[in-house]
Structure 1
Amino acid sequence: MRDDGLDRAIDAAGGIAQLARKIGISQPSVSNWTRVPAQRVVAVETATGVSRNDLRPDLYGEQAGSAELVDPIDAARAREYALLAVLLSAPPSKRLLDQLAALSGDATPLGRAHAALADAAASAVAAKVEREYFDLFVGLGRGELLPYASYYLTGFLNERPLSRLRGDLTTLGIEPVANNSEPEDHAAILCEIMSGLVAGRFDASPEVQRAFFEKHVSPWMGRLFADIESAGDAGFYRVVGALGRTFIEIETEAFTFAS
């Protein structure tokens, strides 16, 4: 039996098939949910407008009451990872493009990347961005890019990097999404996991965060974003690549100093 939050999201999206399409996964996967999986909360919230507190009050209800306990810098980092997770998991809806167009920037490298994303979103056409996403990451057979750790680190899919990641997720108590067709080393899933680690939704110390980042994110994800930035099919996603590359560089430097 589905919980109320999932029912509200399905109604807001216009049905199970429409929700699955909006967040870029298969219809049977959504059909088998009884509640929104933790790794999909941000994507479903963005696609439907149903708040994360309503979708998963067990994860977000208490956090909303103790937001002051989350360091503001960590909260901003978690939002950055969540944004990248949403943009990598599915093409942005018109609603999300409108939200991105309202982003403000500043003189820092990340601020300039935000300003560029806002400009790109303001002039983007959702249908064209959807086609761009398809050409980049899906394609007829395969897309121009394969956003998986195993592929970037070994040249093949579903190799040892995925096996090592699954072992570490088990140790952290992070369960995979039921019936999800994507392996856990997809860049969107890793960004969503990092968002959860940073925001405190998963029980992990700063040392565990750093170890996870250095083992599963930093060895390859910066290269992925650089490839997105220079991809032949990239238009809107060119600025997404620049944002992701800049953010991963900042994270890498911060974790280096922290160690």
Structure 2
Amino acid sequence: MRDDGLERAIGAAGGIAQLARKIGISQPSISNWTRVPAQRVIAVETATGVPRNDLRPDLYEQATPAELVDPVDAARAQEYALLATLLSAPPSKRLLDRLAALAGDATPLGRAHAALADAAASAVAAQVERQYFDLFVGLGRGELLPYASYYLTGFLNERPLSRLRADLTRLGIERIANNSEPEDHAAILCETMSGLADGSFNASPEAQHAFFEKHVSPWMGRLFADMESAGNVHFYRAVGAVGRTFIEIETEAFTFAN
């Protein structure tokens, strides 16, 4: 039996098939859900407009109130959430319109945001969907495999994934039932970092730093750099520039804090 949050999301999307398409997973996967899995909350919130605390009140009702979150951490959480959304599924026309309104500034990340806004403004949703397919899915496999195990070992489902699963369990984040997507996908890791940054997950700053150093820093910058140099994917080259620049900033900030 589905809980109220999942029912609201399905209704807002226009049905199970539409929700599956919006967040880039198979319809049978959603049919087997009884509630929105923790790893998919931000993607479902973005796709449907149903707030995360309604989708999973057990995870988000007790989250740190927004007014108590450091503004820098709140901005970090938003950046990670944006990357998680763009890596998990191709953006809708509505999201492209929102991205086109991003404001830039003279900082490296501000310039990357401005370039992403320009790419979104000239993008056609159907073409971006094709870019996503070619880059991450493909016929057999995409141009890039956005998984920690692959980048760190050259193979999928290796020890980096098992270590990640142990750490996610300690954070209280469960695996999605009947879903074959490994948890070391870049979108899931960005979503986890977003929850750590804004206090949604109960973890100390030291635990957040350790998670970043262990599961994000060793490889994700390379993934984004590879996206920047990929061919025929203009929109995702701009996403790669944002991601690479942000991971560089995060790495420097954690080093300074340490």
* TM-score normalised by structure 1 residue count: 0.96
Partners of 2:118 and 2:59 in 1: how far apart?
33
- Residue 164 of structure 2 is matched in structure 1 by 165
1:176 CA drift (Å):
1.5
Superposed, 1:78-89 pairs within 5 Å as 78-89=77-88
Q: Describe how 1:186-197 pairs up with structure 2 within 5 A.
A: 186-197=185-196
User: 2:5 aligns to what?
Assistant: 5
CA distance in 1: counterparts of 2:101 and 2:201, whole angstroms:
30
**Runs of 4+ with >6 A deviation:** none
Using the TM superposition, give the Cα deviation of residue 134 of structure 1 relative to its aligned residue in structure 2, in angstroms: 0.0
Question: What is the CA deviation profile of residues 69-98 of structure 1, one whole-angstrom value per residue up to 9, with x for unaligned ones?
Answer: 111110110110010000000000011111
3-state DSSP of counterpart to 2:86: helix
Residues 152-186 of structure 1: CA distance to partner in whole angstroms, max 9, x if unpaired? 01111111111111122222222122222210110
Contact 1:5 1:54 survives alignment (8 Å): yes
Q: 1:37 — aligned with what?
A: 37
Letter in structure 2 aligned against 1:213: F
Tell me by how many angstroms 1:187 deviates.
0.4
1:121 aligns with 2:120: yes
C-alpha separation between the residues in 2 aligned to 1:224 and 1:86?
16
Q: 1:57 & 1:165 partners in 2: Cα distance?
A: 24
Q: How far did 1:62 drift?
A: 4.3
Number of positions where the alignment pairs a residue of Structure 1 with one of Structure 2 = 258
The 1:225–1:145 alpha-carbon spacing in structure 2 relative to 1, beyond 3 Å, is same
2:240 alignment counterpart: 241
Partner of 1:23: 23
SS in 1 for 2:131: helix
User: Aligned equivalents of 1:251 and 1:84: distance in 2?
Assistant: 14
AA aligned to 1:120 is A
Counterpart mapping for 1:1-259 below 5 A: 1-63=1-63, 66-259=65-258
Give the letter aligned to residue 138 of structure 1.
V
After TM superposition, the structure 1 stretch with the greater mean CA deviation from structure 2, 219-228 or 166-175, is 166-175
Q: CA deviation at 1:26?
A: 1.4
Q: Which amino acid aligns with 2:237?
A: R
AA aligned opposite 2:105 = D
- Shift of the alpha carbon at 1:241? 0.2
Show CA shifts across 1:78-134 (max 9, x none): 110010000000000011111111111111111111111111111110000000000
Q: Give the distance between the partners of 1:176 and 1:131, measured in 2 at CA.
A: 28
* CA distance, structure 1, for counterparts of residue 232 and residue 163 of structure 2: 32
Uncovered stretches (5+) of structure 1, i.e. residues with no partner: none
Aligned equivalents of 2:56, 2:163: Cα separation in 1: 28
Any unmatched runs of 5+ in structure 2? none
Deviations 1:5-41 (A, max 9, x none): 2112112212111111110111121111122122211
**In 2: Cα distance, 1:218 partner to 1:172 partner:** 19
Say if 1:4 and 1:170 are closer, same or farther in 2 by CA, change over 3 A.
closer
Residue deviations 1:178-225 (CA, integer Å, cap 9, x gap): 222210110001101111111111111111111110111000000000
C-alpha spacing 1:61/1:166, structure 2 compared with 1 (3 Å)? closer
* Percent of aligned positions that are identical: 86
Q: Distance in 2 between matches of 1:154 and 1:37?
A: 28
Q: Could you say what secondary structure the match of 1:111 adopts?
A: helix
